[in-house]
Amino acid sequence: MSPGEDGLIGIPFPEHSNELLSRLNAQRRTGLLCDLTLTSHGARYPTHRSVMAAVSLYFRRLFGAEEGEDGDEGVGDSCSVCQLDCVSPDALAALLEFAYTATLTIRSSGMREVLKGAQLLGIQCVADACRDILGETGDNPTNQQLPSRRKQDRCSVTRAVSPVRPVWRSPDDTPECGLLPAQGREGHPPPAEVQDGDTRASHLGRLMNGSSHWSQEFTPIPHRPEDTPSEEEESGAQGRATPHHSQSQGGGASAGSGRKRKSQTPQQCPVCQKIIHGAGKLPRHMRTHTGEKPFQCSACGVRFTRNDKLKIHMRKHTGERPYPCPSCPARFLHSYDLKNHLSLHSGDRPFECPLCHKDFAREDHLQRHRKGHSCLELRTRRPRRGTDPSGSPPSESFGQQHLDHMSVAAAAQLLEGHGGPMQGVPLLTGARMPYPELLWRVVAGPVGKALDKAEGGSSPHGSASVTHRTWEEEDEEQDAAGEEEE
DNA sequence: CTGGGGAAGGGGCCC
DNA sequence: CGGGCCCCTTCCCCA
């Protein structure tokens, strides 16, 4: 180096990184300077947010430490406890050990859990290593083979479990701390697909995207065919979204009611595939999967997923009952409680069991009645089609024969034409629709709403065929044919 | 089994 | 467009 040249000299300290990590690990073990506690199923793991942000894309996004990340997106300094029940305690411990020692020590039996945790937390190298060991492949993210739409819809029926519970607590416990961390997947191979239980992990990996990033992951459902194709559509996001199958397309906006619908882009939940209508509703829906409850009652500590639920809950503490009965001194917390109560005064029992003719004031009580007892048995004992020796079907079979492959809309017209429920005609919306409740709404409930839901809501297709559940065995061939038509 | 209360979740309207 | 507020439906629980 010449005297006039102010060159940079690099003096390597090869042990520095190891020593640094080792000391950080020692600090972690003693709890020194730990500013973040991870919990999983009651187990607590003190850690350093800087380390977690360095090792995990999830925490990097969460703390706004990702380059180009808006600082206000992350939780910043406000959170100190991260509940990660989505990752098993053993897996979380292994991942933390890796973070502080660069060595992953796990049992082979726990490999899958670690893989899942690594995927959820965005620890790519660990996920890759686990996949290698498990012989899985993690590429091909956007072309994930999702279950068939029909299968997805059936799966979505079951109430979503909530394995991911990133509940964030800060000293002031503000709802803002409940924001899900923003986690993009760019440059980050998505979770390996997928067998069985890992499907959920895969979905939840995407789920953990912050709301502002969901728009990148969640496929908006185009409103109309003439919509300008979105970037996602053109870039091959088709695998995930099937707009023509969208529940909201055929029935939702146009089928019903004449009620004006705002032009809001429906969004599809990546977990349950449900179409969520309404601006700003998707983050709210996502909390049903994550179990996140950012809104806490200051009086009793109960937490809620939504602030409007908290508001109603607070009435219990304040004694406020804003819905007084005009006929008696009763007051109610909820408007619908008052509505139910008023039906008692009026004696109005508009929901009648089509089989035993018992009437109910509440629709859900009718549904319960129908599910619970012999009315169902009556239904299953209906005569077989074509077995009537007289050759002339009974009156209810009339309905069956004519409804068998009708659209729900046509069925509704028929029902309305009958001036009331068509007794004993158990309609099922969709050849494989597993919802007897829906059936009873069609039969006994307000027809318009039933159709609204059947066509725009639960049916995977705009117009579901109507079939007869109790004759399914005999009709399997026809059902199969019907499915092919679909 | 029924009546009733409450919670949870979705959608519409409005700001 | 996001969020607040409200209404509605459905489910669960208890008496």
Nucleotides of C under 7 A from a protein CB: 1-13
- Nearest nucleic acid nucleotide to A371, CA to C1' distance: B1
Q: Nearest residue (Cα to C1') for B13?
A: A262
> Does residue A252 sit within a domain?
no
Is a pLDDT exceeding 60 seen at residue A471? no
> Does residue A172 sit within a domain?
no
A281 CA to B9 C1' distance (Å): 11
Per-residue pLDDT band at A454 (split at 50, 70, 90): very low
> Does residue A111 sit within a domain?
yes
Average pLDDT value for chain A: 55
- Most confident residue range from A17-31, A178-192, A253-267, A328-342: A17-31
Beta carbon of A434 within 7 Å of strand C?
no
Is a pLDDT exceeding 70 seen at residue A73? no
Per-residue pLDDT band at A293 (split at 50, 70, 90): confident
- Nearest nucleic acid nucleotide to A262, CA to C1' distance: B12
For A25-43, what is the mean pLDDT?
Answer: 86
Is a pLDDT exceeding 80 seen at residue A56? yes
Q: What gap in Å lies between CA A150 and CA A105, rounded to an integer?
A: 41
Is a pLDDT exceeding 80 seen at residue A340? no
- Nearest nucleic acid nucleotide to A359, CA to C1' distance: B2
Domain count, chain A: 1
- Most confident residue range from A252-256, A273-277, A416-420, A478-482: A273-277
More confident residue, A102 or A397: A102
- Most confident residue range from A246-260, A309-323, A398-412, A463-477: A309-323
Per-residue pLDDT band at A334 (split at 50, 70, 90): confident
Beta carbon of A227 within 7 Å of strand C?
no
Note the pLDDT of residue A10: 60
> Does residue A477 sit within a domain?
no
> Does residue A72 sit within a domain?
no
Per-residue pLDDT band at A375 (split at 50, 70, 90): low
Q: What gap in Å lies between CA A115 and CA A127, rounded to an integer?
A: 5
Percentage of the residues of chain A whose pLDDT score is greater than 90: 0
Is a pLDDT exceeding 70 seen at residue A159? no
Question: In whole angstroms, how far apart are CA A394 and each of A27, A242, A286?
Answer: 80, 42, 48
Q: Tokens representing A2?
A: 């010449």
Backbone angles phi, psi at A275, to 5 degrees: -90, 125
Quickly tell me which residue has 């803002």 as its tokens: A176
Per-residue pLDDT band at A412 (split at 50, 70, 90): very low
For A384-407, what is the mean pLDDT?
Answer: 32
Residues 86-115 of chain A: which lie with beta carbon within 7 Å of strand B? none
> What are A77-110's pLDDT values in tens digits?
445 777 777 788 888 888 888 888 777 777 778 8
- Nearest nucleic acid nucleotide to A276, CA to C1' distance: B10
- CATH of residue A100's domain is 3.30.710.10
Phi-psi label, residue A21: left if phi above 0, alpha if psi -120 to 50, beta otherwise:
alpha
Is a pLDDT exceeding 50 seen at residue A146? no
Note the pLDDT of residue A391: 32
For A220-232, what is the mean pLDDT?
Answer: 36
> Does residue A35 sit within a domain?
yes
In this structure, how many other beta carbons lie within 10 angstroms of the beta carbon of residue A238?
A: 14
Q: What pairing do the DSSP bridges indicate for beta strands A351-352 and A359-360? A: antiparallel
Residues 236-275 of chain A: which lie with beta carbon within 7 Å of strand B? 248, 252, 259-262, 274-275
For A432-458, what is the mean pLDDT?
Answer: 33
More confident residue, A226 or A134: A134
For A31-39, what is the mean pLDDT?
Answer: 87
Q: What gap in Å lies between CA A465 and CA A135, rounded to an integer?
A: 43
Structural domain harbouring A118: 15-65+77-137+145-158
Is a pLDDT exceeding 80 seen at residue A476? no
Burial class (CB within 10 angstroms; exposed 0-12, middle 13-18, buried 19+) of A399 = buried
Backbone angles phi, psi at A378, to 5 degrees: -55, -45
Q: What gap in Å lies between CA A434 and CA A467, rounded to an integer?
A: 12
A8 CA to C9 C1' distance (Å): 71
Q: Tokens representing A88?
A: 């098993």
User: Considering only A295-304, A313-322, A341-350, A476-485, which range has the smallest mean pLDDT?
Assistant: A476-485
Beta carbon of A278 within 7 Å of strand C?
yes
Closest CA to A303 of A182, A164, A210, A175: A175
Per-residue pLDDT band at A405 (split at 50, 70, 90): very low
- Most confident residue range from A143-152, A165-174, A316-325: A316-325
More confident residue, A228 or A16: A16
> Does residue A32 sit within a domain?
yes
Per-residue pLDDT band at A64 (split at 50, 70, 90): low
Is a pLDDT exceeding 80 seen at residue A380? no
Phi-psi label, residue A386: left if phi above 0, alpha if psi -120 to 50, beta otherwise:
left
Beta carbon of A250 within 7 Å of strand C?
no
Residues 380-439 of chain A: which lie with beta carbon within 7 Å of strand B? none
> Does residue A316 sit within a domain?
no
Note the pLDDT of residue A300: 78
Note the pLDDT of residue A301: 78
> What are A105-143's pLDDT values in tens digits?
777 788 888 888 888 888 888 887 777 777 765 443 333
User: Considering only A60-74, A140-154, A301-315, which range has the smallest mean pLDDT?
Assistant: A140-154
Question: CA A141, A143, A145, A149: dihedral to nearest 10 degrees?
Answer: 120
Half-sphere exposure of residue A47: CA atoms within 13 angstroms, side-chain side: 28
